[in-house]
Structure 1
Protein backbone atom coordinates (compact mmCIF):
# COMPACT_ATOMS: atom_id res chain seq x y z
CA UNK A 1 0.00 0.00 0.00
CA UNK A 2 2.79 2.39 0.88
CA UNK A 3 4.60 1.71 -2.40
CA UNK A 4 1.36 2.15 -4.36
CA UNK A 5 0.60 5.41 -2.57
CA UNK A 6 4.09 6.71 -3.26
CA UNK A 7 3.74 5.88 -6.97
CA UNK A 8 0.33 7.49 -7.04
CA UNK A 9 1.63 10.62 -5.32
CA UNK A 10 4.61 10.80 -7.69
CA UNK A 11 2.28 10.48 -10.69
CA UNK A 12 0.09 13.24 -9.29
CA UNK A 13 3.08 15.55 -8.86
CA UNK A 14 4.30 14.82 -12.40
CA UNK A 15 0.84 15.47 -13.86
CA UNK A 16 0.52 18.70 -11.90
CA UNK A 17 3.90 19.83 -13.23
CA UNK A 18 2.96 19.03 -16.81
CA UNK A 19 -0.37 20.86 -16.50
CA UNK A 20 1.27 23.85 -14.84
CA UNK A 21 3.85 24.03 -17.63
CA UNK A 22 1.15 23.82 -20.28
CA UNK A 23 -0.89 26.48 -18.53
CA UNK A 24 2.14 28.76 -18.26
CA UNK A 25 2.82 28.35 -21.96
CA UNK A 26 -0.84 29.11 -22.68
CA UNK A 27 -0.77 32.27 -20.58
CA UNK A 28 2.48 33.50 -22.09
CA UNK A 29 1.54 32.59 -25.65
CA UNK A 30 -2.06 33.71 -25.74
CA UNK A 31 -2.20 37.41 -25.02
CA UNK A 32 -2.41 38.00 -21.27
CA UNK A 33 -4.20 34.71 -20.76
CA UNK A 34 -6.86 35.37 -23.42
CA UNK A 35 -7.81 32.89 -26.12
CA UNK A 36 -6.10 33.35 -29.46
CA UNK A 37 -9.15 35.06 -31.01
CA UNK A 38 -9.68 37.43 -28.06
CA UNK A 39 -8.16 40.79 -27.20
CA UNK A 40 -6.62 41.84 -23.92
CA UNK A 41 -8.20 45.18 -23.00
CA UNK A 42 -6.37 48.12 -21.45
CA UNK A 43 -7.64 46.90 -18.07
CA UNK A 44 -6.50 43.30 -18.60
CA UNK A 45 -9.79 41.60 -19.50
CA UNK A 46 -10.51 39.30 -22.43
CA UNK A 47 -13.15 39.91 -25.07
CA UNK A 48 -13.84 40.49 -28.73
CA UNK A 49 -15.73 43.77 -29.12
CA UNK A 50 -14.64 47.41 -29.18
CA UNK A 51 -14.24 47.61 -25.41
CA UNK A 52 -11.48 45.01 -25.64
CA UNK A 53 -10.04 45.30 -29.15
CA UNK A 54 -10.41 49.06 -29.55
CA UNK A 55 -8.63 51.91 -27.80
CA UNK A 56 -6.12 50.69 -25.19
CA UNK A 57 -6.02 47.08 -26.47
CA UNK A 58 -2.79 45.51 -25.22
CA UNK A 59 -2.47 42.30 -27.24
CA UNK A 60 -4.40 40.01 -29.53
CA UNK A 61 -6.32 40.88 -32.71
CA UNK A 62 -6.56 44.56 -31.72
CA UNK A 63 -8.30 46.88 -34.13
CA UNK A 64 -5.96 48.99 -36.26
CA UNK A 65 -5.55 52.46 -34.77
CA UNK A 66 -7.92 54.93 -36.43
CA UNK A 67 -6.49 57.55 -38.73
CA UNK A 68 -7.02 61.16 -37.57
CA UNK A 69 -9.08 63.31 -39.89
CA UNK A 70 -7.89 66.61 -41.32
CA UNK A 71 -9.72 68.84 -38.84
CA UNK A 72 -7.63 71.69 -37.47
CA UNK A 73 -8.61 72.16 -33.84
CA UNK A 74 -6.94 75.60 -33.56
CA UNK A 75 -9.18 76.77 -36.42
CA UNK A 76 -12.27 75.74 -34.41
CA UNK A 77 -11.16 76.61 -30.88
CA UNK A 78 -10.13 80.13 -31.76
CA UNK A 79 -8.98 82.92 -29.48
CA UNK A 80 -12.42 84.48 -29.85
CA UNK A 81 -14.16 81.26 -28.75
CA UNK A 82 -11.85 80.64 -25.79
CA UNK A 83 -11.94 84.24 -24.60
CA UNK A 84 -15.72 84.21 -25.02
CA UNK A 85 -15.91 81.56 -22.30
CA UNK A 86 -13.68 83.46 -19.90
CA UNK A 87 -15.51 86.74 -20.51
CA UNK A 88 -18.70 85.17 -19.12
CA UNK A 89 -17.18 84.66 -15.70
CA UNK A 90 -19.39 86.17 -13.02
CA UNK A 91 -17.23 85.61 -9.94
CA UNK A 92 -14.81 88.39 -8.97
CA UNK A 93 -11.09 87.58 -8.88
CA UNK A 94 -11.38 84.29 -10.77
CA UNK A 95 -8.12 82.39 -10.36
CA UNK A 96 -8.86 80.48 -13.53
CA UNK A 97 -8.78 83.61 -15.68
CA UNK A 98 -5.00 83.48 -15.96
CA UNK A 99 -4.67 79.72 -15.44
CA UNK A 100 -6.80 78.28 -18.23
CA UNK A 101 -5.39 79.45 -21.55
CA UNK A 102 -5.91 78.44 -25.14
CA UNK A 103 -2.15 77.98 -25.49
CA UNK A 104 -2.12 75.43 -22.64
CA UNK A 105 -5.09 73.57 -24.15
CA UNK A 106 -3.47 73.36 -27.59
CA UNK A 107 -0.19 72.20 -26.05
CA UNK A 108 -1.98 69.46 -24.13
CA UNK A 109 -3.50 68.09 -27.34
CA UNK A 110 -0.20 66.56 -28.43
CA UNK A 111 -0.69 63.75 -25.91
CA UNK A 112 -4.05 62.71 -27.40
CA UNK A 113 -3.92 63.00 -31.20
CA UNK A 114 -7.36 61.44 -31.78
CA UNK A 115 -9.21 63.85 -29.51
CA UNK A 116 -11.44 65.98 -31.74
CA UNK A 117 -9.96 64.42 -34.86
CA UNK A 118 -11.80 61.18 -35.50
CA UNK A 119 -14.89 60.57 -37.58
CA UNK A 120 -16.50 63.28 -39.64
CA UNK A 121 -15.93 67.01 -39.40
CA UNK A 122 -19.27 67.29 -37.63
CA UNK A 123 -18.18 64.62 -35.12
CA UNK A 124 -15.08 66.68 -34.38
CA UNK A 125 -17.06 69.87 -33.88
CA UNK A 126 -19.56 68.11 -31.61
CA UNK A 127 -16.77 66.57 -29.54
CA UNK A 128 -15.09 69.93 -29.03
CA UNK A 129 -18.43 71.52 -28.15
CA UNK A 130 -19.13 68.72 -25.66
CA UNK A 131 -15.70 68.92 -24.03
CA UNK A 132 -15.87 72.67 -23.55
CA UNK A 133 -19.50 72.51 -22.41
CA UNK A 134 -18.60 70.16 -19.58
CA UNK A 135 -15.43 72.11 -18.74
CA UNK A 136 -17.41 75.35 -18.71
CA UNK A 137 -20.01 73.87 -16.37
CA UNK A 138 -17.46 72.20 -14.08
CA UNK A 139 -15.31 75.32 -13.67
CA UNK A 140 -17.85 78.14 -13.84
CA UNK A 141 -16.65 79.41 -17.22
CA UNK A 142 -13.01 78.63 -16.41
CA UNK A 143 -13.18 80.46 -13.11
CA UNK A 144 -12.38 77.67 -10.64
CA UNK A 145 -9.17 75.67 -10.80
CA UNK A 146 -9.94 73.61 -7.71
CA UNK A 147 -13.11 72.47 -6.01
CA UNK A 148 -14.62 75.10 -3.73
CA UNK A 149 -13.50 74.83 -0.11
CA UNK A 150 -16.97 74.24 1.27
CA UNK A 151 -17.36 71.02 -0.74
CA UNK A 152 -13.82 69.60 -0.56
CA UNK A 153 -13.34 66.04 0.64
CA UNK A 154 -10.12 64.05 0.50
CA UNK A 155 -11.65 61.66 -2.07
CA UNK A 156 -9.51 58.76 -0.89
CA UNK A 157 -10.82 55.32 -1.73
CA UNK A 158 -8.86 53.25 0.75
CA UNK A 159 -10.06 49.97 -0.76
CA UNK A 160 -8.18 50.70 -3.98
CA UNK A 161 -4.84 49.01 -3.37
CA UNK A 162 -3.53 49.58 -6.90
CA UNK A 163 -3.47 53.34 -6.34
CA UNK A 164 -3.15 53.78 -2.56
CA UNK A 165 -3.64 57.24 -1.12
CA UNK A 166 -0.50 59.04 0.02
CA UNK A 167 -0.46 60.50 3.55
CA UNK A 168 -1.82 64.03 3.87
CA UNK A 169 -2.78 64.27 0.21
CA UNK A 170 -6.16 65.34 -1.10
CA UNK A 171 -7.60 64.06 -4.35
CA UNK A 172 -10.37 66.62 -4.63
CA UNK A 173 -11.56 68.16 -7.87
CA UNK A 174 -8.96 70.00 -9.93
CA UNK A 175 -8.69 71.07 -13.56
CA UNK A 176 -11.15 71.56 -16.44
CA UNK A 177 -13.15 68.42 -15.62
CA UNK A 178 -12.39 68.52 -11.88
CA UNK A 179 -10.41 65.28 -11.65
CA UNK A 180 -11.18 63.50 -8.37
CA UNK A 181 -10.28 60.31 -6.44
CA UNK A 182 -6.96 58.54 -6.01
CA UNK A 183 -7.95 55.91 -8.58
CA UNK A 184 -8.07 58.68 -11.19
CA UNK A 185 -5.05 60.70 -10.09
CA UNK A 186 -2.82 57.61 -10.02
CA UNK A 187 -3.39 56.30 -13.55
CA UNK A 188 -3.66 59.81 -15.00
CA UNK A 189 -0.22 60.57 -13.62
CA UNK A 190 1.18 57.30 -14.98
CA UNK A 191 -0.17 58.07 -18.44
CA UNK A 192 0.77 61.74 -18.54
CA UNK A 193 4.05 61.60 -16.65
CA UNK A 194 3.63 62.99 -13.13
CA UNK A 195 3.27 61.49 -9.67
CA UNK A 196 -0.50 61.63 -9.36
CA UNK A 197 -0.64 60.08 -5.89
CA UNK A 198 2.17 62.03 -4.22
CA UNK A 199 1.81 65.25 -6.18
CA UNK A 200 -1.89 65.74 -7.01
CA UNK A 201 -1.42 69.49 -6.47
CA UNK A 202 0.27 69.85 -9.86
CA UNK A 203 -3.12 69.49 -11.56
CA UNK A 204 -4.02 72.80 -9.95
CA UNK A 205 -0.71 74.54 -10.61
CA UNK A 206 0.41 73.47 -14.10
CA UNK A 207 -2.18 74.42 -16.76
CA UNK A 208 -0.85 72.02 -19.40
CA UNK A 209 -0.92 69.08 -16.97
CA UNK A 210 -4.37 70.22 -15.91
CA UNK A 211 -5.73 70.12 -19.45
CA UNK A 212 -3.99 66.80 -20.07
CA UNK A 213 -5.76 65.21 -17.10
CA UNK A 214 -9.08 66.36 -18.53
CA UNK A 215 -8.21 64.89 -21.93
CA UNK A 216 -6.96 61.70 -20.23
CA UNK A 217 -10.28 61.31 -18.43
CA UNK A 218 -12.19 62.05 -21.63
CA UNK A 219 -10.34 59.47 -23.71
CA UNK A 220 -9.90 56.81 -21.01
CA UNK A 221 -13.59 56.79 -20.12
CA UNK A 222 -14.53 56.54 -23.81
CA UNK A 223 -16.43 59.81 -23.89
CA UNK A 224 -14.65 60.36 -27.19
CA UNK A 225 -16.18 57.11 -28.51
CA UNK A 226 -19.63 58.14 -27.32
CA UNK A 227 -19.53 61.19 -29.57
CA UNK A 228 -18.17 59.26 -32.56
CA UNK A 229 -20.81 56.54 -32.22
CA UNK A 230 -23.64 59.10 -32.15
CA UNK A 231 -24.98 58.30 -28.67
CA UNK A 232 -25.50 62.00 -28.00
CA UNK A 233 -24.43 64.59 -25.49
CA UNK A 234 -26.66 63.17 -22.77
CA UNK A 235 -24.58 60.00 -22.72
CA UNK A 236 -21.43 62.04 -22.02
CA UNK A 237 -23.11 63.68 -19.04
CA UNK A 238 -24.00 60.24 -17.71
CA UNK A 239 -20.34 59.19 -17.78
CA UNK A 240 -19.07 62.37 -16.13
CA UNK A 241 -21.61 62.79 -13.34
CA UNK A 242 -24.49 60.43 -14.00
CA UNK A 243 -25.30 59.12 -10.51
CA UNK A 244 -25.44 62.66 -9.10
CA UNK A 245 -27.32 64.36 -11.93
CA UNK A 246 -29.07 61.95 -14.30
CA UNK A 247 -32.44 60.22 -14.05
CA UNK A 248 -34.04 63.23 -12.40
CA UNK A 249 -31.43 63.66 -9.65
CA UNK A 250 -30.44 67.22 -10.64
CA UNK A 251 -32.27 68.25 -13.80
CA UNK A 252 -31.09 71.86 -13.50
CA UNK A 253 -27.44 70.89 -13.93
CA UNK A 254 -28.24 68.47 -16.75
CA UNK A 255 -30.14 71.25 -18.52
CA UNK A 256 -27.29 73.71 -17.95
CA UNK A 257 -24.74 71.36 -19.52
CA UNK A 258 -27.02 70.76 -22.51
CA UNK A 259 -27.72 74.46 -22.94
CA UNK A 260 -24.03 75.33 -23.02
CA UNK A 261 -23.34 72.45 -25.42
CA UNK A 262 -26.08 73.62 -27.78
CA UNK A 263 -24.67 77.14 -27.69
CA UNK A 264 -21.17 75.93 -28.53
CA UNK A 265 -22.47 73.72 -31.34
CA UNK A 266 -24.10 76.83 -32.79
CA UNK A 267 -20.81 78.70 -32.58
CA UNK A 268 -19.04 75.81 -34.32
CA UNK A 269 -21.69 75.59 -37.04
CA UNK A 270 -22.89 72.06 -36.32
CA UNK A 271 -26.24 70.57 -35.28
CA UNK A 272 -26.15 69.30 -31.67
CA UNK A 273 -27.80 65.98 -32.53
CA UNK A 274 -30.27 63.96 -30.48
CA UNK A 275 -30.27 62.79 -26.86
CA UNK A 276 -29.15 65.99 -25.18
CA UNK A 277 -30.22 64.96 -21.69
CA UNK A 278 -29.57 61.97 -19.47
Structure 2
Protein backbone atom coordinates (compact mmCIF):
# COMPACT_ATOMS: atom_id res chain seq x y z
CA UNK A 1 0.00 0.00 0.00
CA UNK A 2 1.29 3.47 -0.89
CA UNK A 3 0.45 6.35 1.41
CA UNK A 4 0.05 9.90 0.17
CA UNK A 5 -0.07 13.23 1.91
CA UNK A 6 -2.90 15.60 1.23
CA UNK A 7 -3.42 19.26 1.94
CA UNK A 8 -6.84 19.93 3.39
CA UNK A 9 -8.72 23.16 2.87
CA UNK A 10 -7.47 25.81 5.28
CA UNK A 11 -9.79 26.76 8.10
CA UNK A 12 -7.82 29.74 9.42
CA UNK A 13 -5.60 27.77 11.79
CA UNK A 14 -2.66 30.04 10.97
CA UNK A 15 -0.02 27.29 11.02
CA UNK A 16 3.24 27.34 9.13
CA UNK A 17 2.70 25.56 5.77
CA UNK A 18 4.79 22.61 6.97
CA UNK A 19 2.71 22.06 10.13
CA UNK A 20 -0.71 20.49 10.48
CA UNK A 21 -3.75 22.23 11.93
CA UNK A 22 -5.38 19.78 14.33
CA UNK A 23 -9.11 19.23 14.72
CA UNK A 24 -8.91 21.55 17.73
CA UNK A 25 -7.11 24.29 15.84
CA UNK A 26 -3.55 23.78 17.10
CA UNK A 27 -0.34 23.52 15.06
CA UNK A 28 1.99 20.52 15.19
CA UNK A 29 3.72 17.77 13.22
CA UNK A 30 2.87 14.44 14.84
CA UNK A 31 -0.17 12.18 14.47
CA UNK A 32 -2.16 14.11 17.07
CA UNK A 33 -2.19 17.02 14.62
CA UNK A 34 -1.80 15.44 11.17
CA UNK A 35 -4.05 12.38 11.41
CA UNK A 36 -7.68 12.21 12.49
CA UNK A 37 -9.50 15.53 12.14
CA UNK A 38 -6.56 17.38 10.59
CA UNK A 39 -7.83 20.60 9.00
CA UNK A 40 -4.90 21.84 6.93
CA UNK A 41 -1.22 21.35 6.17
CA UNK A 42 0.48 18.01 5.38
CA UNK A 43 -2.42 15.93 6.71
CA UNK A 44 -2.13 12.15 6.59
CA UNK A 45 -4.88 9.72 5.73
CA UNK A 46 -3.43 7.11 8.06
CA UNK A 47 -0.61 6.56 10.52
CA UNK A 48 2.50 5.99 8.46
CA UNK A 49 5.48 3.91 9.61
CA UNK A 50 8.89 5.42 8.92
CA UNK A 51 9.89 2.48 6.74
CA UNK A 52 7.02 3.37 4.39
CA UNK A 53 8.52 6.84 3.98
CA UNK A 54 12.21 5.97 3.74
CA UNK A 55 11.86 3.13 1.26
CA UNK A 56 14.79 1.18 -0.13
CA UNK A 57 14.14 2.82 -3.49
CA UNK A 58 14.31 6.33 -1.98
CA UNK A 59 17.56 5.55 -0.16
CA UNK A 60 19.12 3.82 -3.16
CA UNK A 61 18.36 6.76 -5.45
CA UNK A 62 20.55 8.90 -3.22
CA UNK A 63 23.47 6.61 -2.45
CA UNK A 64 23.67 5.30 -6.02
CA UNK A 65 24.94 8.75 -7.05
CA UNK A 66 28.06 8.35 -4.89
CA UNK A 67 31.21 7.13 -6.61
CA UNK A 68 31.89 3.42 -6.30
CA UNK A 69 35.15 4.07 -4.47
CA UNK A 70 33.41 6.05 -1.71
CA UNK A 71 33.74 4.49 1.73
CA UNK A 72 30.25 5.65 2.65
CA UNK A 73 28.70 3.62 -0.14
CA UNK A 74 29.63 0.45 1.76
CA UNK A 75 28.91 2.00 5.15
CA UNK A 76 25.55 3.78 5.18
CA UNK A 77 22.43 1.65 4.68
CA UNK A 78 18.71 2.17 4.91
CA UNK A 79 18.55 -0.53 7.60
CA UNK A 80 21.11 1.30 9.75
CA UNK A 81 19.08 4.51 9.46
CA UNK A 82 15.87 2.74 10.47
CA UNK A 83 17.65 0.98 13.33
CA UNK A 84 18.96 4.32 14.57
CA UNK A 85 15.52 5.88 14.25
CA UNK A 86 13.92 3.03 16.21
CA UNK A 87 16.22 3.76 19.13
CA UNK A 88 15.47 7.49 19.07
CA UNK A 89 12.62 8.44 21.38
CA UNK A 90 9.65 10.22 19.76
CA UNK A 91 11.15 10.27 16.29
CA UNK A 92 9.11 7.61 14.50
CA UNK A 93 5.82 8.79 15.97
CA UNK A 94 6.20 12.42 14.98
CA UNK A 95 8.18 12.59 11.74
CA UNK A 96 6.56 13.46 8.41
CA UNK A 97 7.48 13.02 4.78
CA UNK A 98 8.35 16.68 4.58
CA UNK A 99 10.71 16.40 7.54
CA UNK A 100 12.40 13.40 5.93
CA UNK A 101 12.81 15.38 2.70
CA UNK A 102 14.51 18.17 4.64
CA UNK A 103 16.70 15.84 6.69
CA UNK A 104 17.90 13.78 3.73
CA UNK A 105 18.55 16.91 1.69
CA UNK A 106 21.08 17.92 4.35
CA UNK A 107 22.45 14.38 4.66
CA UNK A 108 23.00 14.38 0.90
CA UNK A 109 24.78 17.71 0.87
CA UNK A 110 26.96 17.05 3.93
CA UNK A 111 28.14 13.62 2.74
CA UNK A 112 27.85 14.05 -1.05
CA UNK A 113 25.20 11.38 -1.48
CA UNK A 114 26.50 9.33 1.47
CA UNK A 115 29.99 9.19 -0.01
CA UNK A 116 31.86 10.46 3.04
CA UNK A 117 31.88 8.92 6.50
CA UNK A 118 34.29 11.52 7.88
CA UNK A 119 35.25 15.09 7.06
CA UNK A 120 37.84 15.34 4.29
CA UNK A 121 41.24 16.16 5.86
CA UNK A 122 39.46 16.48 9.20
CA UNK A 123 42.24 14.79 11.15
CA UNK A 124 44.55 17.69 10.31
CA UNK A 125 42.28 20.21 12.06
CA UNK A 126 41.92 21.00 15.74
CA UNK A 127 38.35 20.64 16.97
CA UNK A 128 39.10 20.79 20.68
CA UNK A 129 37.64 23.68 22.64
CA UNK A 130 39.95 23.64 25.65
CA UNK A 131 37.82 26.25 27.40
CA UNK A 132 34.92 23.82 27.62
CA UNK A 133 35.33 22.24 31.05
CA UNK A 134 32.05 20.33 30.97
CA UNK A 135 33.16 18.19 28.03
CA UNK A 136 36.97 18.15 28.14
CA UNK A 137 38.90 16.65 25.26
CA UNK A 138 40.41 13.24 25.88
CA UNK A 139 44.17 12.99 25.29
CA UNK A 140 45.02 11.99 21.74
CA UNK A 141 41.45 12.22 20.46
CA UNK A 142 40.25 14.37 17.61
CA UNK A 143 36.67 15.59 17.26
CA UNK A 144 36.55 16.31 13.54
CA UNK A 145 33.39 15.81 11.52
CA UNK A 146 31.94 12.32 11.40
CA UNK A 147 28.60 10.86 10.36
CA UNK A 148 25.80 12.22 8.15
CA UNK A 149 25.91 15.66 9.80
CA UNK A 150 29.69 15.65 10.31
CA UNK A 151 29.41 15.93 14.09
CA UNK A 152 32.31 18.15 15.23
CA UNK A 153 33.89 19.57 18.41
CA UNK A 154 34.11 18.12 21.90
CA UNK A 155 31.14 20.22 23.05
CA UNK A 156 28.97 18.28 20.59
CA UNK A 157 30.52 14.83 21.01
CA UNK A 158 30.11 15.09 24.79
CA UNK A 159 26.37 15.77 25.11
CA UNK A 160 25.60 13.59 22.10
CA UNK A 161 27.40 10.67 23.72
CA UNK A 162 25.58 11.26 27.00
CA UNK A 163 22.24 11.18 25.22
CA UNK A 164 23.10 8.00 23.32
CA UNK A 165 24.69 6.23 26.29
CA UNK A 166 28.11 6.20 24.60
CA UNK A 167 31.41 7.71 25.70
CA UNK A 168 32.07 9.64 22.52
CA UNK A 169 34.58 11.92 24.22
CA UNK A 170 36.90 8.96 24.77
CA UNK A 171 35.81 7.08 21.67
CA UNK A 172 34.83 9.59 18.97
CA UNK A 173 35.90 7.04 16.37
CA UNK A 174 32.73 5.06 17.13
CA UNK A 175 30.81 7.51 14.94
CA UNK A 176 32.91 6.58 11.92
CA UNK A 177 32.99 2.85 12.58
CA UNK A 178 29.29 2.03 13.10
CA UNK A 179 26.66 3.21 10.61
CA UNK A 180 23.93 2.93 13.22
CA UNK A 181 25.88 5.09 15.67
CA UNK A 182 26.60 7.53 12.85
CA UNK A 183 22.90 7.89 12.08
CA UNK A 184 22.07 8.12 15.79
CA UNK A 185 24.41 11.10 16.11
CA UNK A 186 22.76 12.64 13.05
CA UNK A 187 19.31 12.20 14.57
CA UNK A 188 20.54 13.62 17.88
CA UNK A 189 21.78 16.74 16.13
CA UNK A 190 18.61 17.02 14.07
CA UNK A 191 16.24 16.72 17.01
CA UNK A 192 18.18 19.09 19.24
CA UNK A 193 19.40 21.72 16.79
CA UNK A 194 17.37 21.54 13.59
CA UNK A 195 13.87 20.23 14.26
CA UNK A 196 13.06 23.16 16.61
CA UNK A 197 13.34 25.59 13.67
CA UNK A 198 11.75 23.38 11.00
CA UNK A 199 8.43 25.20 11.31
CA UNK A 200 10.18 28.40 10.16
CA UNK A 201 10.94 26.88 6.76
CA UNK A 202 13.77 24.99 5.11
CA UNK A 203 15.98 28.08 5.11
CA UNK A 204 16.01 28.09 8.90
CA UNK A 205 17.30 24.52 8.91
CA UNK A 206 20.21 25.56 6.67
CA UNK A 207 21.14 28.29 9.13
CA UNK A 208 20.91 25.85 12.04
CA UNK A 209 23.35 23.48 10.34
CA UNK A 210 25.78 25.92 8.76
CA UNK A 211 24.97 29.60 9.30
CA UNK A 212 28.17 30.59 7.47
CA UNK A 213 26.52 29.56 4.19
CA UNK A 214 23.71 32.08 4.70
CA UNK A 215 23.49 35.77 3.82
CA UNK A 216 25.74 35.36 0.79
CA UNK A 217 28.40 33.30 2.55
CA UNK A 218 28.07 30.36 0.16
CA UNK A 219 25.05 30.70 -2.15
CA UNK A 220 26.11 27.64 -4.14
CA UNK A 221 25.81 25.43 -1.07
CA UNK A 222 22.47 26.96 -0.13
CA UNK A 223 21.11 26.41 -3.64
CA UNK A 224 22.31 22.80 -3.63
CA UNK A 225 20.53 22.08 -0.36
CA UNK A 226 17.32 23.66 -1.64
CA UNK A 227 17.50 21.66 -4.87
CA UNK A 228 17.87 18.40 -2.97
CA UNK A 229 15.00 19.36 -0.69
CA UNK A 230 12.76 20.24 -3.63
CA UNK A 231 13.57 16.98 -5.39
CA UNK A 232 12.98 14.85 -2.32
CA UNK A 233 9.67 16.56 -1.65
CA UNK A 234 8.62 15.52 -5.15
CA UNK A 235 9.87 11.97 -4.69
CA UNK A 236 8.00 11.62 -1.41
CA UNK A 237 4.80 13.12 -2.76
CA UNK A 238 4.58 16.19 -0.54
CA UNK A 239 3.81 19.79 -1.37
CA UNK A 240 6.87 22.00 -1.00
CA UNK A 241 6.33 25.19 1.01
CA UNK A 242 6.47 28.22 -1.26
CA UNK A 243 8.28 30.53 1.18
CA UNK A 244 11.32 30.59 3.47
CA UNK A 245 13.31 27.95 1.60
CA UNK A 246 16.54 29.92 1.59
CA UNK A 247 18.45 31.68 4.35
Match in the other structure for 2:125:
153
1:226 Cα offset (Å):
2.3
CA distance in 2, matches of 1:236, 1:98: 28
1:113 Cα offset (Å):
3.7
1:71 Cα offset (Å):
2.4
1:164 Cα offset (Å):
0.4
CA distance in 1, matches of 2:86, 2:236: 22
Once the two structures are superposed, residues 145-177 of structure 1 have per-residue CA deviations (whole angstroms, 9 ceiling, x without a partner) of 000127841311111100001111110000011
Q: Indicate conservation of the 8 Å contact 2:76/2:179, yes or no.
A: yes
Compare the two structures and name the one with the higher helix fraction.
Answer: 1
Match in the other structure for 2:70:
94
Q: Indicate conservation of the 8 Å contact 2:145/2:152, yes or no.
A: yes
Unaligned runs of 5+ in 1: 1-65
TM-score under structure 2 normalisation? 0.78
CA distance in 2, matches of 1:110, 1:152: 34
1:116 Cα offset (Å):
5.6
CA distance in 2, matches of 1:150, 1:99: 18
Evaluate the alpha carbon distance shift between residue 92 and residue 80 of structure 1 in structure 2; reply closer, same or farther with a 3 A threshold: closer
Number of aligned pairs?
204
Match in the other structure for 1:126:
98
RCO higher in 1 or 2 (8 Å CA, sep ≥ 6)? 2
Q: Indicate conservation of the 8 Å contact 2:63/2:114, yes or no.
A: yes
> Residue 210 of structure 1 is aligned with which of 182, 187, 196?
182
Do residues 276 (structure 1) and 224 (structure 2) align? Answer: no
Q: Indicate conservation of the 8 Å contact 1:68/1:113, yes or no.
A: no
> Residue 195 of structure 2 is aligned with which of 215, 224, 227?
224
1:110 Cα offset (Å):
1.9
1:112 Cα offset (Å):
2.3
Structure 1's consecutive aligned runs of 4 or more residues displaced over 6 angstroms after TM superposition are none
> Residue 236 of structure 1 is aligned with which of 205, 208, 213?
205
Q: Indicate conservation of the 8 Å contact 1:177/1:214, yes or no.
A: yes
TM-score under structure 1 normalisation? 0.70
Q: Indicate conservation of the 8 Å contact 2:102/2:229, yes or no.
A: yes
RMSD: 1.7
SS at match of 1:259: helix
1:206 Cα offset (Å):
0.7
Q: Greater Rg, structure 1 or structure 2?
A: 1
Do residues 187 (structure 1) and 159 (structure 2) align? Answer: yes
CA distance in 2, matches of 1:151, 1:259: 30
Q: For residues 35-54 of structure 1, what are the structure 2 equivalents within 5 Å?
A: none
Evaluate the alpha carbon distance shift between residue 263 and residue 117 of structure 1 in structure 2; reply closer, same or farther with a 3 A threshold: farther
